[in-house]
């Protein structure tokens, strides 16, 4: 197999003792490509170091950005560093808005998010979006700038909105990413979206260390568990497994322009 985990946080502290083993298990499980998603500058830089120094069979790609939870850390110096370093990364993010936890205020989150969107537009990089209870605001930020956006502006990570919103983001050129939530019993709405999204507009992810799929639910997630989400997707789609696998890989490469 040749699966692409388009969203995992392997530079986070959760993997500091187990990184090597995790990468090895992931390769053995059939994962071939990983995007190492930053939640702030430091772990983005760590992700780049991991990707630069890694000598094994996987292909690793780092991103750089500030998670909405940490948006209170956004200031002039962060903005300058992000701008200076972004060329060395495949994407801007993870950014977005999270009105569920509100670890940072709405104003702080919007300020950081809009900066990331403008930077991604300027540098023609895809953007990685985290969206929780904030879909209207995220959509309007992009809709207002639609004429300036690059043709495939990025990915809605861990997509968990309904069909109507899926269509709106697909119309803006976004890819939708499906996570282990696909395997959760109560996730009927998300399975419906994954069924109806054009195959060449979707990707899959683990969001490790979070959101482990069934039967690992509640444990620390790993890219090695990506096959569980892939298998579930194959069950709910009509295309052959081989076609789904090939298309997911191709689409993930298009998304990150690699
Ligand atoms: Zn994430």
By residue range, what is the domain housing residue 199? Answer: 3-255
Residue with tokens 């991604």: 120
Helix (H) or strand (E) holding 6: strand 3-8
Q: What is the pTM of this model?
A: 0.97
Q: How far is the CA of 94 from the centre of ligand 1 (A)?
A: 6
Paired tokens of 41: 């500058």
pLDDT digits (tens, 9 = 90+) for 208-256: 999 999 999 999 999 999 999 999 999 999 999 999 999 999 999 999 9
93 CA from centroid of ligand 1 (Å):
9
Distance 67 CA to ligand 1 centre (A): 8
* Burial environment of residue 137 by CB neighbours within 10 A (0 to 12, 13 to 18, 19 or more): middle
Chain position carrying tokens 């991991």 = 50
The continuous run of DSSP H or E covering 76 comes out as helix 76-85
CB burial of residue 134 (10 Å; 0-12, 13-18, 19+): buried
Q: How far is the CA of 241 from the centre of ligand 1 (A)?
A: 26
- Are 55 and 95 in contact, with CB atoms under 8 Å apart? no
Q: Could you say which DSSP state residue 201 is in?
A: G
Query: Average of pLDDT values for 147-152?
Result: 93
DSSP conformation class of 2: -
- The C-alpha atoms of residue 252 and residue 5 are separated, in whole angstroms, by 9
Choose among 190, 191, 200: nearest CA to 170: 200
The pLDDT assigned to 39 comes to: 97
- pLDDT over 70 for what percent of the chain? 100
| Total number of domains constituting the chain | 1
Average pLDDT estimate for 162-185: 98
Cα of 139 vs centre of ligand 1, distance in Å, is 19
| Rounded Cα gap, residues 65 and 114, in angstroms | 12
- The C-alpha atoms of residue 188 and residue 195 are separated, in whole angstroms, by 10
Distance 143 CA to ligand 1 centre (A): 23
181: Cβ contacts below 8 Å, ≥ 6 apart: 158, 160, 187, 190, 211
Compute, in angstroms, the gap from residue 234 CA to the centroid of ligand 1. Answer: 23
Segment 182-204 mean pLDDT: 97
Query: 105 C-alpha vs ligand 1 centroid, how far in Å?
Result: 19
28 CA → ligand 1 middle, Å: 23
Ligand 1 centroid to Cα of residue 101, in Å, is 14
- Under DSSP, the state recorded for 64 is B
CATH number at residue 67: 3.20.20.140
In the three-class reduction of DSSP (H, G, I as helix; E, B as strand; rest coil), residue 250 is classed as helix
| Cα angle: 71, vertex 73, 76; to 5 degrees | 105
Q: What is the mean pLDDT of the chain?
A: 97
Ligand 1: distance of its center to the CA of 37 in Å? 6
Cβ partners under 8 Å of residue 140, min gap 6: none
pLDDT digits (tens, 9 = 90+) for 8-67: 999 999 999 999 999 999 999 999 999 999 999 999 999 999 999 999 999 999 999 999
pLDDT digits (tens, 9 = 90+) for 102-138: 899 999 999 999 999 999 999 999 999 999 999 999 9
pLDDT single digits (tens) 57-88:
999 999 999 999 999 999 999 999 999 999 99
């Amino acid at each position: 197999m040749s699966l692409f985990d388009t969203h995992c946080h392997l530079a986070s502290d959760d993997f500091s003792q187990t990184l090597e083993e995790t990468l090895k298990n992931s390769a053995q499980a059939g994962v071939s490509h990983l995007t190492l998603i930053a939640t702030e500058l430091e772990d983005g830089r760590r992700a780049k170091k991991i990707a630069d120094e890694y000598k094994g069979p996987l292909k690793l790609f780092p991103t750089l950005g500030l998670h909405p939870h940490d948006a209170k850390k956004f200031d002039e110096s962060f903005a300058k560093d992000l701008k200076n370093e972004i060329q060395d990364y495949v994407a801007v993010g993870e950014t977005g808005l999270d009105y569920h936890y509100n670890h940072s205020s709405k104003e702080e989150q919007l300020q950081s998010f809009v900066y990331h969107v403008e930077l991604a537009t300027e540098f023609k990089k895809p953007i990685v979006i985290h969206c929780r209870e904030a879909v209207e605001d995220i959509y309007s930020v992009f809709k207002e700038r639609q004429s300036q956006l690059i043709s495939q502006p990025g990915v809605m990570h861990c997509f968990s909105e309904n069909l109507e919103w899926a269509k709106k983001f697909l119309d803006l050129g976004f890819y939708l990413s499906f996570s282990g939530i696909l395997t959760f019993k109560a996730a009927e709405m998300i399975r419906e979206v994954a069924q109806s999204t054009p195959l060449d507009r979707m990707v899959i992810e683990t969001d490790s260390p979070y959101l482990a799929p069934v039967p690992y639910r509640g444990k620390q997630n790993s890219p090695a568990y990506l096959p569980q989400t892939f298998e579930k997707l194959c069950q709910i789609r009509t295309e052959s497994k081989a076609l789904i696998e090939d298309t997911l890989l191709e689409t993930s490469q298009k998304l990150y322009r690699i």
